[in-house]
Amino acid sequence: MAQWTSAVGSAQLARLLTSQQARPAGAGTRRPPAYRALADGIRLLVLEGRVPVAARLPAERELAVALSVSRTTVAAAYEALRGEGFLESRRGAGSWTAVPAGNPLPARGLEPLPPEAVGSMIDLGCAALPAPEPWLTRAVQGALEELPPYAHTHGDYPAGLPALRAVLAERYTARGVPTMPEQIMVTTGAMGAIDAICHLFAGRGERIAVESPSYANILQLMREAGARLVPVAMAEGLRGWDLDRWRQVLRDAAPRLAYVVADFHNPTGALADEDQRRGLVDAARSAGTVLVVDETMSELRLDDVAMPRPACAFDPAGATVITVGSASKAFWAGMRIGWVRAAPDVIRSLVAARAYADLGTPVLEQLAVNWLLTTAGWQEAVDLRRAQARDNRDALVAAVRRELPDWEFDVPRGGLTLWVRTGGLSGSRLAEVGERVGVRVPSGPRFGVDGAFEGYVRLPFTVGGAVADEAAVRLAAAARLVETGAGGAVQGAYPFVA
């Protein structure tokens, strides 16, 4: 019986491998043999999870044709992978990917660095800051004071606590978008919200248009749900969406859903202007596409910049635009409270479907967020979060410019991430070698579709001061190892992002 559970075609594997190619080596740079480079490329794809474990690889002759190399090269690469434990084979069943004993399985989901590893590793994988105390403690204390009446109920509120739904509706109304509590559903984080939306609107095999690049965790969620992702390139720099490209994709591909981050986009930091928001909503309405707008970064304005109206302002009834918000980025990642704003019938459908998922969001955490939003706590905490992120951003930008002057980026005016072009180096190899020198960084392909953005990494504003300086020093050390070909094979855990 075959041991593989999926298959990777030769054209697909060739495309993924080609995306990893680094810039041409300079004088004196050691070039690995062709078979070694091929084996390393496949191993990287397995470690990143872009080629799953137990995936059947193409036959040697088939892959050799696709890569325009000799069959001997492919055979030697496969043999090297078998010797390292990354490939298993059996006559008549072919060869399939594996991981060596003692290595963790590459995650299909994306996880932050385990807390026990924090002392020895600088984690630039997770775009999240510590809680803005004392506001977390005060919010929990306030929630405990409000808890007794709820403790006498069943505690199951599939649409969310009525008090929190009302407060969230009031906040949208105050932003110029009249909203009723019936248009709000409270969820377990923004991921829970988008997962519910995808299951309701986009069944397996449905097309979902996404920005390119886009938020890695959401891309992975959609892949796991069986969606067919249709990438739409962002405009250059921080100019937001390319409306001509969006109109073409919406017209030609007719996706069921489209997912965008309008405010301080993750990973680029771009802020879509008001004309772009209006234009994309109009285009989605014309195409019959449901537009999911992620507002989780909307509170994280770091510079003095005028904020455009929310995208739902151009579809106030919620027939085309579904808005997702969260306390996780603006307040604390451990506060797993998100919400959806949509038409009442959409909310009713989401609530009904939820009975087969998580039933409801924890009451105590909802009460804590409600306390924050009904006192000065939320604004005080957000102001603190902005100051932390701004200081970290400025420190990280200065350190990277000093240690890695060939790396290119635009400094965003908000959000939590810096999208960096790595001077022609492979982002996947930088991520791999970075773990050896003590810095964890996610590579660009995590944020793309089909191997795009190999020449990028994402750096979050989660460290500052001397730690930001040391992170840049370690990144520079990793870059030198990659550039000279001296990085070697790193057979261990691989970075994940949040």
pLDDT at 341 over 70: yes
pLDDT at 358 over 90: no
Closest CA to 6 of 46, 39, 35, 60: 46
Please indicate whether residue 481 or residue 498 has the higher confidence score (pLDDT). 481
Residue pair 475/400 in contact (Cβ under 8 Å)? The answer is: yes
List helix spans (H) across 114-161.
Answer: 135-146, 148-151
Q: What is the pLDDT of residues 128-163, one digit of tens each?
A: 999 999 999 999 999 999 999 999 998 889 999 999
List helix spans (H) across 175-242.
Answer: 189-201, 216-224
- What is the pLDDT of the chain when averaged over all its residues? 88
- Please tell me the distance from the alpha carbon of residue 226 to that of residue 215, in angstroms, as a whole number: 17
Residue pair 468/399 in contact (Cβ under 8 Å)? The answer is: yes
Q: What is the pLDDT of residues 372-382, one digit of tens each?
A: 999 999 999 99
pLDDT at 60 over 90: yes
Residue type, 93: A
Strand arrangement, sheet containing 87-90:
6-7, 55-56, 94-97, 87-90
Highest mean pLDDT: which of 79-88, 386-395, 451-460?
Answer: 386-395
Which residues, other chains included, contact 143 with Cβ-Cβ below 8 Å and sequence gap of 6+? 364, 365, 367, 368, 370, 371
Please indicate whether residue 300 or residue 12 has the higher confidence score (pLDDT). 300
pLDDT value of residue 114 = 61
Q: How many residues does the chain have?
A: 498
Closest CA to 429 of 337, 498, 494: 494
Task: Place 48 in a pLDDT band, splitting at 50, 70 and 90.
Answer: low
- Please tell me the distance from the alpha carbon of residue 458 to that of residue 411, in angstroms, as a whole number: 12
Task: Produce one character per residue of 127-146: b if its CB has 16 or more CB atoms within 10 Å, e if not.
Answer: bbbebbeebbebbbebbeeb
Which residues, other chains included, contact 365 with Cβ-Cβ below 8 Å and sequence gap of 6+? 143, 335, 336, 337
Closest CA to 13 of 101, 72, 105, 95: 95
Task: Place 105 in a pLDDT band, splitting at 50, 70 and 90.
Answer: very low
What average pLDDT score do residues 12-32 get?
66
